[in-house]
């Protein structure tokens, strides 16, 4: 039985021709074999050879020039980490030094616009609109790991946890050692990350 997606939204292609791309899963469709003829009296279930697919736009459907039918097994929902990585890849692909066709470049810019907008919406929602109610998690990191620590905190917030990150929880003029001690004391989990 093929995988079925439970909601429309931002997806990452994990295999196939478009592996690595991020797009908007907008609808469902079915591809029938070329020689297939529909007969209402005989066909009461799903006939053999039919491929069920998700309709995916690489960008907002108002900007994207095409949509693609991608099997559900080739998709998963995109995380903040996926969005950040794809944004960096697309920035390089859209570089004026990268020789590519205008059609492909337009597709990349459409996807980049979608990824950046989606990323910004998620950041604003997670930081300012949603109130997580799960366990508190203290995040320890070095200054080199700060971008990863921020992405981890946003993913934790999206999944209902309450992350403690120095940059978010220590205000100007507060005692750093005291605030770290309070953060550690109030946390149920401790996560330390460094390369």
> What pLDDT digit, counting tens, does each position of 8-40 carry?
999 999 999 999 999 999 998 888 777 777 666
Tokens of 34: 């070329």
Closest of 11, 18, 16 to residue 107, by C-alpha = 18
User: What's the half-sphere exposure (Cβ side, CA atoms, 13 Å) at 141?
Assistant: 19
* pTM of the full structure: 0.69
φ and ψ at residue 45, rounded to 5 degrees? -125, -160
Distances (CA, A) of 50 to 26, 53, 152, 167, 168: 20, 10, 40, 52, 50
* Of the ranges 76-90, 128-142, 161-175, 181-195, the best mean pLDDT one: 76-90
Q: Is the pLDDT confidence value at 135 over 80?
A: yes
- How far are the Cα atoms of 20, 27, 129, 148 from residue 6, in angstroms, in the given order? 21, 11, 24, 28
């Amino acid at each position: 039985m093929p995988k079925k997606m439970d909601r429309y939204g931002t997806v990452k292609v994990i295999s196939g021709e478009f592996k690595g791309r991020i797009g908007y899963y907008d609808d469902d469709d079915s591809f029938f074999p070329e020689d297939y003829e529909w007969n209402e009296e005989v066909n009461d279930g799903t006939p053999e050879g039919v491929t069920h697919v998700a309709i995916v736009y690489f960008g907002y459907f108002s900007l994207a020039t095409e949509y693609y039918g991608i099997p559900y097994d080739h998709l998963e929902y995109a995380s903040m980490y996926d969005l950040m990585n794809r944004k960096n890849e697309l920035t390089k692909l859209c570089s004026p030094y990268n020789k590519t066709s205008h059609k492909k470049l337009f597709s990349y810019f459409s996807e980049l616009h979608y990824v950046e907008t989606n990323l910004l919406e998620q950041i604003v929602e997670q930081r300012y609109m949603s109130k997580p109610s799960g366990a508190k998690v203290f995040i320890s990191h070095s200054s080199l790991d700060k971008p990863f620590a921020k992405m981890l905190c946003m993913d934790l917030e999206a999944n209902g946890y309450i992350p403690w990150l120095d940059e978010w929880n220590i205000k100007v003029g507060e005692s750093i050692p005291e605030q770290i001690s309070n953060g550690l004391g109030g946390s149920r989990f401790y996560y330390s990350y460094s390369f």
